[in-house]
Structure 1
Amino acid sequence: MLTSTVCAAVSAAGLGIAALTAYRKRFLAATRIAAFALIPVGLAMTGIIDWVTNIIFKPMVWAGFGVLALSVVLFMIGRFTERRRGGIGSRKERRAATAARPEAVAPAASAPSLGAGRTASQPSADAGKKGRSSAPKDDFSDIEAILKKHGI
């Protein structure tokens, strides 16, 4: 009940200021002030103000916020000490994992697989093309160079 009265008084004061602003021929500013002034009454009418005051003035709610804050602090302390001690996900473990990882399944597979590894039982792709000129072998050399540069 008291909160509704306070909201009504704040809105009335805001509307009074909006009326004075409109009297001074500043209609755009007066419209904005009136819009802001109507917010407290609207909140009181919807019941949100009563809900908020029930949250604010109950000690059990504040105790819950305290427990949540304590939980966050403990979590942060745990993460901080884990990083300081070199725990899970430390730089040392990441470096060791990258060093132990093999380079590639077959690092030299890109060069021989382009034609040097064909046998007599495997016909070449160019043999099936009749009447077309074959593409030069260095057609993909730029792409190969880029892939080799990136280790692919």
Structure 2
Amino acid sequence: MLTSTVCAAVSAAGLAVAALTAYRKRFLAAMRIAAFALIPIGLAMTGIIDWITGLVLKPTVWAGFGLLALSVVLFMIGRAVERRRGGAGSRKERRAAAATRGAAVSPGASAPSLGPGRTASGSAGAAKGKAAAPEDDFSDIEAILKKHGI
């Protein structure tokens, strides 16, 4: 009830200002002022003002907003700590995982396959002496295909 009275008073004051502006022959400005002055009483008549005052003046609503803000702050702190730690796990766990990854790969795994009966020194000598014949390359491919049963 009090909010409706306040809205009516604000609208009446706005309409009075609009009338004074129209008296000064500024009709376009008076029309805009009158339009703004009618908004509060229109909101009061539709019941929106009562809903807003009920929302703003209830302590439980503000407690709810406080809890939402607290949850956002806790979430942000958790994300910051997770970034600072470097994701999942501690430094010791990451170092242990890196050590086991390095040990899993054998040292000769990146060396090319030389085929049966060939050594690295023999292939290097053959490469220095003369270029490998194309049929040698195809024999390596044939051996690989036979090994896989193709």
Say yes or no: TM over 0.5.
Answer: yes
Alignment-mate amino acid for residue 55 of structure 1: L
Q: C-alpha distance in 1, partners of 2:77/2:44? A: 41
Deviations 1:4-43 (A, max 9, x none): 0000000000011111111111111111111111110011
Deviations 1:42-68 (A, max 9, x none): 110010111111111211111111111
Question: How many residues are matched?
Answer: 88
Partner of 1:102: none
Shift of 1:85: 2.1
Structural RMSD (CA): 1.2
Q: Which aligned pairs between 1:19-38 and structure 2 lie closer than 5 A? A: 19-38=19-38
Gaps of 5+ in 2: 89-150
Q: C-alpha distance in 2, partners of 1:79/1:27? A: 58
**1:78 aligns to 2:78 (yes or no):** yes
In the superposition, the TM-score normalised over structure 2's length comes to: 0.56
Moved more, 63-72 or 78-87: 78-87
Q: C-alpha distance in 1, partners of 2:71/2:27? A: 50
% of aligned pairs identical? 84
In the superposition, the TM-score normalised over structure 1's length comes to: 0.55
Q: If each structure's helix is expressed as a fraction of its own residues, which one has the higher value?
A: 2
Q: C-alpha distance in 1, partners of 2:29/2:85? A: 58
Q: Which aligned segments of 4 or more residues in structure 1 are displaced greater than 6 angstroms? A: none
